[in-house]
C-alpha cells in the first residue's frame, strides 16, 4: 500500500472535507478523534454519512478512512457503527494497545462488506511496548502510524526540535512494522507553516524506513511525496544496480563493483524496492 501522505481533516469541518478531491494525497482521513472538539464529536458523527456520500459522488476513487475514538472510550462503539455504515476503505484506530481491539474493528468491517483494513496508532507507552506483538498478530492492521505527541506527553518528555526524546519509539515502530510487512507512517509535524522543518523531518523518517507521513495541511502533501518518492538519481542508480547484477549473475559472479561500491544481495533488494516505489508513485 503506497501511503506517502496520510492527510487528516476534522470531521466537524465539512468545508475542508469537500476539498479532498482537489488534494493529491495517497490516503485521506476524516478525523472524529483529536481533530474534532469534544463538544462537536456527536454532531460530526451524525454528519458523516452525508459527507462521505457527497465525497464519493464527486471522487469515488479516494482512499478514504475514518479515525474513530479509541477503544474503551464512551464514543468508540457508536463511532464504529457510523463509520462502517459508510462506503469507506477502512478505519484509523488511535492509541492501539492490544490486538483484540484491532481485531474487533476489523471483524466489523468484514461483516459489513468493507475492506478489512485498520490503520493503528502507536502513540502510548503501552502501545509502544507491545508494538511487535501487535504487528505480528494478524489482527487486521494494514498500517501503523507513529504518534509522537501523545507518547511524549505520557512519558513526561520535553519536546525538542531534534526529537531525540521520541527517536526510540519512532525507530521501534518502523522496525516492528517492516518486520511483519505492515506499512509504517511517520509522525506529524505540528509546525504546519514551516516547510523546511517538515521536509527535514520527512527525510529523517524516510532514512529510518518509513514509507510516508501524516499531513495536516494540503501544502504538506507535496512535500511528503517529494520526500518519500525516489528521485531521478536514486532511480538511475537502482536501474544500474539491477542491470549490473543481472549481468554478473549471467557471468557466474556473486557480487559486482559499481562506482567503487560492492553490490550484493541486500543492495539489489533495496534497488528493486526503489524501482517498485517509483513505478507505483507514477501511476
Mean pLDDT, the chain cut into blocks of 10 residues (283 residues total): 94 95 97 97 96 91 96 97 97 97 97 96 98 96 97 96 96 98 97 96 97 97 96 86 78 70 78 85 75
Residues 112-126 as b/e (b if ≥16 CB within 10 A, e otherwise) read eebbbbbbbbbbbee
Sign of CA dihedral 77, 81, 82, 88: positive
> Across-strand partners of 265?
none
- Cα atoms in the 13 Å half-sphere on the side-chain side of 170: 23
Count of beta carbons in the 10 Å neighbourhood of residue 148: 25
Give the span between the Cα atoms of 217 and 194, in whole angstroms: 11
SS3 29: strand
- Residues 165 and 155 sit within 8 Å (Cβ to Cβ): yes
Last residue of a domain, one of 184, 200, 228: 228
Could you report the per-residue pLDDT of 189-204, keeping only the tens digit for each? 999 999 999 999 999 9
At 119 the three-state DSSP class reads strand
Res 154: pLDDT: 97
Q: What is the CATH number of the domain that holds 16?
A: 3.20.20.60
Q: Using one digit for the tens of pLDDT, what is the confidence trace for 11-57?
A: 999 999 999 999 999 999 999 999 999 999 999 999 999 999 999 99
- pTM to 2 decimal places: 0.92
pLDDT the model gives residue 240: 87
Do residues 238 and 274 touch, judged by C-beta distance below 8 A? yes
Residue ending a domain, among 206, 228, 250, is 228
Domain that holds residue 257: 232-281
pLDDT score of 254: 64
pLDDT of residue 279: 83
Residue 159 sits in the same domain as residue 252 = no
Task: Say whether both 10 and 127 belong to one domain.
Answer: yes
Q: Give the integer Cα–Cα distance in Å for 18 and 235.
A: 35
Whether 56 and 98 share a structural domain:
yes
12 and 88 inside one domain: yes
Are residue 154 and residue 262 in the same domain, yes or no?
A: no
What's the pLDDT at 206?
97
* Strand intervals (E) in 22-157: 27-31, 64-67, 90-93, 118-122, 141-146
Alpha-carbon distance of 126 to 140, in angstroms, equals 19
Total of domains in the chain: 2
Q: Are residues 55 and 194 in the same domain?
A: yes
What DSSP state is assigned to residue 190? S
Q: Within this chain, do residues 144 and 120 fall inside the same structural domain, yes or no?
A: yes
Same domain, 261 and 161: no
94 with 158, same domain?
A: yes
Of 184, 205, 228, the last residue of a domain is: 228
Q: What is the C-alpha to C-alpha distance for residues 19 and 16, in angstroms, rounded to an integer?
A: 5
Q: Are residues 165 and 42 in the same domain?
A: yes
Query: Are 168 and 269 contained in the same domain?
Result: no
pLDDT at 156: 97
Q: Say if residue 163 is in the same domain as residue 273.
A: no
175 burial (CB, 10 Å; 0-12 / 13-18 / 19+) is middle
DSSP 95: S
Helix and strand numbers, DSSP H then E, in the chain: 12, 10
Radius of gyration of the chain (CA): 20
Amino acid at each position: 500500500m503506497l501511503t506517502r501522505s496520510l492527510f487528516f481533516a476534522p470531521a466537524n469541518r465539512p468545508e475542508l472535507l469537500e476539498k479532498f478531491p482537489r488534494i493529491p494525497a495517497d490516503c485521506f482521513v476524516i478525523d472524529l478523534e483529536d481533530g474534532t472538539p469534544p463538544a462537536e464529536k456527536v454532531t460530526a458523527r451524525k454528519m458523516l454519512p452525508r459527507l462521505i456520500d457527497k465525497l464519493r459522488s464527486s471522487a469515488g476513487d479516494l482512499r478514504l478512512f475514518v479515525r474513530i475514538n479509541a477503544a474503551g472510550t464512551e464514543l468508540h462503539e457508536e463511532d464504529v457503527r457510523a463509520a462502517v455504515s459508510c462506503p469507506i476503505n477502512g478505519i484509523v484506530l488511535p492509541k492501539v494497545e492490544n490486538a483484540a481491539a484491532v481485531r474487533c474493528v476489523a471483524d466489523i468491517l468484514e461483516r459489513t462488506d468493507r475492506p478489512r483494513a485498520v490503520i493503528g496508532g502507536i502513540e502510548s507507552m503501552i502501545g509502544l511496548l507491545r508494538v511487535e506483538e501487535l504487528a505480528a498478530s494478524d489482527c487486521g492492521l494494514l498500517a501503523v502510524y507513529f504518534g509522537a505527541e501523545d507518547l511524549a506527553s505520557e512519558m513526561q518528555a520535553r519536546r525538542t526540535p531534534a526529537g531525540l526524546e521520541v527517536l526510540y519509539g519512532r525507530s521501534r515502530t518502523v522496525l516492528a512494522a517492516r518486520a511483519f510487512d505492515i506499512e509504517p507512517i511517520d509522525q506529524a509535524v505540528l509546525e504546519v507553516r514551516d516547510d523546511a522543518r517538515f521536509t527535514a523531518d520527512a527525510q529523517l523518517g524516510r532514512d529510518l524506513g518509513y514509507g510516508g507521513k501524516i499531513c495536516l495541511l494540503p501544502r504538506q502533501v507535496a512535500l511528503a511525496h517529494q520526500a518519500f518518492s525516489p528521485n531521478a538519481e536514486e532511480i538511475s542508480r537502482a536501474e544500474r544496480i539491477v542491470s549490473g547484477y543481472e549481468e554478473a549473475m549471467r557471468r557466474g559472479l556473486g557480487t559486482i563493483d559499481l562506482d567503487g561500491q560492492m553490490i550484493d544481495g541486500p543492495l539489489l533488494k533495496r534497488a528493486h524496492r526503489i524501482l517498485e516505489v517509483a513505478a507505483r508513485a507514477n501511476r
